[in-house]
Amino acid sequence: MGALIDTLLMPQTIFFVAVLLTVFLALQISAAVMVYAERKVAAFMQQRYGPYLVGPRGLLQPIADIVKLVFKEELKPKAADALLFSAAPVISAMAAIAAFAPVPFGASTTFFGLLPEPMPLMVADINVAVLVIFAITSMGVYGIVLAGWASNSKYSLLGGLRSSAQMISYELAYGMSLATIVMVAGSLSLREIVDAQQGYFFGFIPRWNVFLLFPTGFIAFLIFATAGVAETNRAPFDFPEAEQELVAGYHTEYSSMRFALFFLAEYINMVTVAAVTVNLFLGGWHGPLIPEAYGWIWFLIKLAVLCFMYLWLRWTLPRFRYDQLMAFGWKLLLPVATLNLLVSAAGVLYFGL
């Protein structure tokens, strides 16, 4: 018992718990921040006010939304499968949160000298982090399929089926662009991929993968970002919530906190995909002027820019038709991603990267 207590009181253990709680709470808060930002960005683009009554400049509106969802009545169809109906939103939310665990967001640190040796700013330093993230995010499709099937509603079922088909289809192009960076970096560890992006080309161009073997790195970035939008069910690929077509997609029969968990998962997935994109293509926490010990500031800046791009796309592009979505994924995005991977492989062999 004494040895267990000593282990729990070790600085490394305390630091790990602190990072774990910080990441968990930050993901919850990021969902609320993204909801508020989405409303404000939409209002700015459409020349209207947006939320402004609840708190200064409407800053307390996300809290009002949470309170409303908590106290709303929980509804469930009589013929629904009780266990799976309740499990589906939990699966989606858990997969979204767990996927962020292997994502580094800063350089290794001794936490102002309190630790005997540097520890990375991440929950789990896994040497195959790319595969782990890809596997966990793929689990989110189970929540959508189960929600549609367990609701015992034809509208929910159709919404769940086409949403799962969308996510599975775009995972192929997603994986191809991912393989391009893994091949160039020679590692499946996100931390090692970020470390390989230190320095500059020609003394002034950041050595980020988006510029590596140009234009193949940039093409891989565009494919990864586009597939990421489809994977997170965001506009213009937001078919799970195409109200005019299927009422509200797979979550038609959900209300209160079960309904909230699906949207929590959606916004956390946005943050996770943006964070992985920053690490894979945009140099992670590396950047000029700021010391590496405070590199998490650069990471947050890049993350905020990509999250803004998500919102910008939603309020700029019209929703695709479903046949256009599938044709774009299978007939354009996947062939381009495959060709780009082959060209990158040739470049790696030729230049000996």
What are the b/e assignments for 289-317, b being 16+ CB within 10 Å? Answer: eeeeeebbebbbebbeebbeebbebbeee
Cis peptide before 236 (omega within 30 of 0): yes
Tokens of 249: 């997609």
Residue 218 has pLDDT above 90, yes or no: yes
- The whole-angstrom separation of Cα 220 and Cα 208 is 12
Residue 180 has pLDDT above 80, yes or no: yes
Note if the bond before 215 is cis, omega within 30 degrees.
Answer: yes
Q: What pLDDT, on the 0 to 100 scale, is given for residue 267?
A: 92
Segment 34-46, tens digit of pLDDT: 999 999 999 999 8
**Number of domains the chain contains:** 1
For 129-156, write each residue's pLDDT tens digit.
999 998 898 888 889 899 989 998 888 8
The parent domain of residue 96 ranges over: 2-351
3-state percent breakdown (helix, strand, coil) of the chain, nearest 5: 65, 0, 30
Provide the angle, in degrees to the nearest 10, between the axes of the packed helices 296-314 and 11-45.
30
pLDDT at residue 159, rounded to an integer: 81
Spatial separation of the C-alpha atoms in residues 241 and 231, rounded to whole Å: 14
> Residue 83: which H helix or E strand, with range?
helix 82-98
End-to-end CA distance of the chain: 51
In angstroms, the Cα distances linking 186 to 49, 127, 189 are 49, 12, 9
DSSP type of residue 288: S
The pLDDT of residue 36: 93
Residue 1 has pLDDT above 70, yes or no: no
User: ω before 118 within 30° of 0 (cis)?
Assistant: no
Half-sphere exposure at residue 20, Cβ-oriented, CA atoms within 13 angstroms: 9
Residue 184 has pLDDT above 70, yes or no: yes
Query: Of 166 and 308, which is predicted with more confidence?
Result: 308
pLDDT at 167 over 60: yes
pLDDT in tens, 221-280: 999 999 999 888 887 887 666 555 556 678 888 988 998 999 899 899 999 999 999 999
Mean of the per-residue pLDDT values of the chain: 87
What's the pLDDT at 6? 52
* Gap between the Cα atoms of 295 and 298, Å rounded: 5
Q: Taking 80 as the threshold, does the pLDDT of residue 126 lie above it?
A: yes
Give the pLDDT of residue 37: 93
Grade residue 323 by pLDDT with cuts at 50, 70 and 90: confident
CB atoms within 10 A of CB 74: 11
Selected residue with higher pLDDT from 191 and 159:
191
